[in-house]
Amino acid sequence: MSDYTASNFSAAVSGGKWVHRWSWAVALTIFPLIWVGGLVTTQDAGMAVPDWPGTYGYNMFAYPVSAWVYGPFDLMVEHGHRLLGSLAGFLVICLCIAAWIDEPRRWVRWLCVGLLAAIVAQGLLGGARVVFDARTLAMIHGCTGPLVFALAAAVVTVTSSWWKRDDKVLVSRGWFAWMTVGLFLATVVQLALGAQLRHIQPWASPGFFTSLVHTHLTMALLVLVMAIVVLAVSSTEQYRDLQGIRGLRLGIFGLLVVQILLGCGTWIANYALPLAGSAPILSRYTIEIQGYWESWIVTGHQATGSLIIVSALVFALRVWRQTKTTQQFDLSISHRPTQ
Amino acid sequence: MPCLFVLLLVVTSGCNQKPVDFVSNQLLSFRMERELREDLGGRSIEVANALRFAFGTPDLPKWPDILVESSRYHSLTDQKSLARASGPVGRNFDLVEVGLFRKQCAQCHGISGDGFGPTAALLDPYPRDFRRGTFKFKNAFYGTRPSVEDLIQTITFGVPGTSMPAMANLKRSKHYADDIPILARYVRFLAIRGEVERELMMDTIRDLDSEDVLFDTNLQETSPEAFKNGLRRINEVIIRVADRWMLSDGLKESQSQSPFNAFVARHDFAKSDLNSDSKSMAGNLFQESLESGRALFEGSIAACAQCHGKDGTGDPKWKDYDEWTKDWTIRAGINPMARAEWKPLKQLGLLKPVAAFPRNLTLQAYRGIPTIDNLPISDSSLHDSLPEKASAEETSSREDAPVLKHAKSSSRLAILRAVLNGIEGSPMPAAALAASTDGGLRDEQIMDLVRFVESLSNSTNSAPALTGGKAAGLAVLMGAGQ
Ligand code: HEM
């Protein structure tokens, strides 16, 4: 931190402040959107509104508020998800405009456009799920949602002033950097498995579901182990000076612990306690459909999952920002005098 | 890259968009093939077609015409409930919600009610297979079908200690208030359909000559006489099955048959509980009652200890299977304990046979949650001490109603019902009663027995002490839980 100087600060990319702010607005809208989307799945409310893009024949934005708020809960959740999604889309358009006006880096401008395309695709996917009444599309929509969230978080990261500052002590890339990418990908796989669990077709075979559950559990263990390795390696001598990852890696670890607890809670909320015969407390427990806490736990497991994906991506991006291959090292050293 | 992976996953596993249809009972065909020593492939297709003709599909179910035509089955053949409970989940343009069964139940009970939903293999006990018409928890007597009220009761309060959830929360909102009775009626539909399939496979095809065709829509043109004959056979079975269910409908007949209902109507016993008994019973009466109860528990008439063990924790050596498991194992000549024998049946829909253990009675946890709402009793104090009633007509919209209230006071009722009515489908028998059997139990003896079972889980009483490490483990767990 202390070693950046006025000169290399000025070397950083200037401008783009508004891009950063809008990207925060987008990310902060997508997170609740993920929650509400999770609630749609928890409540099986995907078809609570039978048409799209309209809502019961109304223009989506003109659907009477009273019918929405005082209507059945599943309708409220589904319609709310659509409105919030529209808001996120609107904010991404603003982000793109800001990027085109204010962002000097061409690739960042296109990244913003990519985010817009992703969010439009996500919305269309959601619409197609309703129009074709296809659970498979709902599952894809559930998988790609967190990826859109991750993309938004990537925009936040690369438009931050920290990213743009050229004050980084670059260290050698090596397998550790790849491990961070691996962690991110593993969380994505875990998400895809979880989405299959959540969107299981009622005629799927017990064998298929059972193996999905076992894979999801094995993958949870793998993600945890990878996270511990990343955590341990990043605190070694070699990577001690990396910026912006100390809090993040603890965050990831904490989220994982919470996630595993929520996963167990999800199991209990959906399928009851194991070993019910072993104690009075356990044997008197009854699952409740649409219980208040049950909904929070199950939806929370899904939302925390997407938060883990996002953290893993931001972590990887930050590590990659501060590492270079040995080749790049040689180049930059040889070029430094002339820069 | 991640997107690619997701796509791959979808392509490989998600896209099996089969047309939705009820699944044939392959285990039943297997059993009958072994019994009759002939290939029943053709017959099971005929049965499947007959069932589709009579009962429709999961998306478009219907009651068989023969039932709809007769006003006798009016209360059974409620097409509105069928329409709401079946089909894919969602709302119609008129805002009416449909697909309730797939939304709430099918992931466990399966789209056909065969207890073979995706989650089934991971649950213990397994979700109920409705197709046998056998239900455990009901006021209706052993061997009779549950009334709609019995099913509503189970669906509303769930089955504690199992994965069967309580749907009581649906009653909190006026938008979902009708869902439970609708689901109960759909369960009844699936059960009747399953029973018809069962009887067609087990009885009807036995009587057919090899050239007789049970059902084939083509016959309608080529041989209307044969078609009519087949239809007559099928309708006979449908009527037989429907009549069984009608017996418990409206409760009148089943009430007089059910020893539990009769007992509760005869005595105030259900009103009180162990603690108040211990205070109200004069002198040594209470202690004597418990002693008599213990003697009965261990004795040869009630023979509870034989399964539940002398201390009530359940005899771990005692091993038996429930009816659903026996159907496809022991009765099909398959040894449920020999993995090599039952394993091939998994493809046909068999879940790994698991022993049905006698309940640990020291836990004070009962799965049956009886009400006596359906009984001709006009005593409000009794009603107050029970879980809120779950009547078919009630459409409560009180948002803050304490809908899920597992009253401790109902444990006496649960024991009483288990003893008097038995738990059908499980090895738990109904007690032999003096009224019907020589040497059977008299009402006072039933009370002694129930008090004793209550005392098994009541540590403040002079209950037999729990023994050994089990007690310690229990205490630790209880401490941890409180
Ligand atoms: C590394 C830790 C884990 C991660 C990142 C994770 C991630 C997820 C995600 C994102 C979903 C929802 C997918 C969607 O709806 O789109 C999910 C579903 C699920 N997860 Fe996990 N999970 C983890 C660990 C666990 C554990 C330890 C369990 C324990 C049993 C578990 C049980 C479940 C279940 C039962 C579902 C389906 C929920 C439903 O049916 O509503 N998960 N998981």
| B360·A277 Cβ contact <8 A | yes
Please report the beta strands in B155-244, taking only residues with DSSP state E, as ranges in sequence order: none
* Model confidence at A314: pLDDT above 90: yes
Closest residue on chain B to A51 (Cα): B93
Nearest to B349 by CA among B129, B107, B102: B129
Q: Max Cα separation, chain A?
A: 77
**Three-state DSSP state, B90:** strand
pLDDT score, position B66: 96
Residue B82 binned pLDDT confidence (cut-offs 50, 70, 90): very high
| A56·B406 Cβ contact <8 A | no
| A279·B481 Cβ contact <8 A | yes
Cα B176 from Cα A72, distance rounded (Å)? 8
Residue B458 binned pLDDT confidence (cut-offs 50, 70, 90): low
* Residue ranges covered by each domain of chain B: 20-255, 259-320+356-478
Percent above pLDDT 90 for chain B:
55
Ligand 1 binding pocket mutation candidate from A273, A290, A302 (most atoms within 8 A of CB): A302
Q: Is the CB of A298 under 6 A from ligand 1?
A: yes
pTM to 2 decimal places: 0.89
| B95·A136 Cβ contact <8 A | no
Of A143, A200, A287, the CB nearest to B107: A200
Q: Which two tokens stand for residue B475?
A: 């205490």
Cα B385 from Cα B381, distance rounded (Å)? 7
* Residue ranges covered by each domain of chain A: 1-166, 168-339
Residue B465 binned pLDDT confidence (cut-offs 50, 70, 90): very low
- Portion 36-75 of A in contact with B at CB < 8 A: 44, 46-51, 56-57, 71-75
Q: Is the CB of A309 under 6 A from ligand 1?
A: no
Tell me the nearest-neighbour CA distance from B175 into chain A, angstroms: 6
**Residue at token pair 């790849």:** A178
Residue A230 binned pLDDT confidence (cut-offs 50, 70, 90): very high
Cα B166 from Cα B178, distance rounded (Å)? 15
Q: Is the CB of A310 under 6 A from ligand 1?
A: no
* Model confidence at B8: pLDDT above 80: no
Cα A235 from Cα A332, distance rounded (Å)? 26
Judged by a CB distance cut-off of 8 A, whether residue A188 touches chain B is: yes
Tell me the nearest-neighbour CA distance from B72 into chain A, angstroms: 34
Residue A329 binned pLDDT confidence (cut-offs 50, 70, 90): low
pLDDT score, position B137: 94
Cα A239 from Cα A257, distance rounded (Å)? 24
Using DSSP bridges, classify how beta strands A171-172 and A323-324 pair: parallel, antiparallel or unpaired: parallel
pLDDT score, position B249: 78
* Model confidence at B481: pLDDT above 80: no
Q: Are the C-beta atoms of B452 and B296 separated by less than 8 Å?
A: yes
pLDDT score, position B6: 46
pLDDT score, position B247: 86
Least confident segment among A50-54, B30-34, B360-364, B385-389: B385-389
Dihedral-angle region of residue B352 (phi above 0 means left; psi in -120 to 50 means alpha; beta otherwise) = beta
Cα B359 from Cα A82, distance rounded (Å)? 49
Least confident segment among A147-151, B100-104, B232-236, B438-442: B438-442
Q: What is the pLDDT of residues A175-195, one digit of tens each?
A: 899 999 999 999 999 999 999
Complex ipTM tops 0.90:
no
Closest residue on chain A to B116 (Cα): A206
Atom of ligand 1 nearest to the CA of A220: 1
Contact residues for A97 (Cβ-Cβ < 8 A; gap 6+): none
Contact residues for A319 (Cβ-Cβ < 8 A; gap 6+): A176, A177, A180, A234, A242, A245
CA of B310 to the centre of ligand 1 (A): 43
- Mean pLDDT computed over A122-143: 94
Q: Is the CB of A20 under 6 A from ligand 1?
A: no
Tell me the nearest-neighbour CA distance from B14 into chain A, angstroms: 6
Least confident segment among B69-83, B138-152, B372-386: B372-386
Nearest to B249 by CA among B155, B157, B184, B176: B184
| B1·A279 Cβ contact <8 A | no
Other C-beta atoms closer than 10 Å to the C-beta of A328 total 13
- Mean pLDDT computed over A276-299: 83
Closest residue on chain B to A41 (Cα): B103
pLDDT averaged over chain A? 89
- Comparison of pLDDT for B394 and A42, the residue scoring more: A42
Ligand 1 binding pocket mutation candidate from A143, A147, A199, A216 (most atoms within 8 A of CB): A216
Q: Is the CB of A193 under 6 A from ligand 1?
A: no
pLDDT score, position B402: 35
* Model confidence at B163: pLDDT above 90: yes
Residue A14 binned pLDDT confidence (cut-offs 50, 70, 90): low
| B365·A289 Cβ contact <8 A | no
Contact residues for B193 (Cβ-Cβ < 8 A; gap 6+): B22, B51, B55, B113, B131
Residue B371 binned pLDDT confidence (cut-offs 50, 70, 90): low
- Portion 4-23 of A in contact with B at CB < 8 A: none
Q: Which two tokens stand for residue B142?
A: 């052993």
- Mean pLDDT computed over A208-231: 96
Q: Look up residue A311 and give its amino acid.
A: S
Q: Which two tokens stand for residue B225?
A: 């006489």
- Mean pLDDT computed over A307-314: 97
* Model confidence at A82: pLDDT above 80: yes
Q: Is the CB of A191 under 6 A from ligand 1?
A: yes
- Residue B2: its chain A contacts at CB < 8 A? 147, 185, 188
Helix ranges (H only) for A272-291 are 280-283
pLDDT score, position A3: 40
Judged by a CB distance cut-off of 8 A, whether residue A337 touches chain B is: no
- Mean pLDDT computed over A100-115: 94
At residue B84, what are phi and psi to the nearest 5 degrees? -75, -35
- Mean pLDDT computed over A18-47: 95
CA of B106 to the centre of ligand 1 (A): 20
Q: Look up residue B30 and give its amino acid.
A: F
Which CATH number applies to A168-339: 3.40.50, 3.40.1130, 1.10.3470, 1.20.950?
1.20.950
pLDDT averaged over chain B? 82
Please, what is the Cα angle at B381 between B379 and B383, to 5 degrees?
75
Cα B195 from Cα B192, distance rounded (Å)? 5
Q: Which two tokens stand for residue B311?
A: 């201390």
Q: What is the pLDDT of residues B189-224, one digit of tens each?
A: 999 999 999 999 998 888 888 888 899 888 888 889
Closest residue on chain B to A78 (Cα): B90
Residue B17 binned pLDDT confidence (cut-offs 50, 70, 90): low
Q: Is the CB of A142 under 6 A from ligand 1?
A: yes
Q: How does B69-96 read in b/e, with b if 16+ C-beta sit within 10 Å?
A: eeeebeebbbeebbbbbbbbbbbeeeee
* Model confidence at B186: pLDDT above 90: yes
pLDDT score, position B330: 93
| B95·A203 Cβ contact <8 A | no
For the stretch B72-81, contacts whose Cβ atoms lie closer than 8 Å and that sit 24 or more positions apart, written own/partner, are: B72/B246, B73/B242, B73/B246, B75/B246, B75/B249, B75/B250, B76/B188, B76/B192, B76/B242, B76/B245, B76/B246, B76/B249, B78/B185, B81/B181, B81/B182, B81/B185, B81/B186, B81/B189
* Model confidence at A284: pLDDT above 90: no
Cα A27 from Cα B346, distance rounded (Å)? 48
Q: What share of chain A is helix, strand, coil (3-state, %, to 5)?
A: 75, 0, 20
DSSP B422: -
Nearest to A319 by CA among A255, A229, A234: A234
- Mean pLDDT computed over B289-311: 93
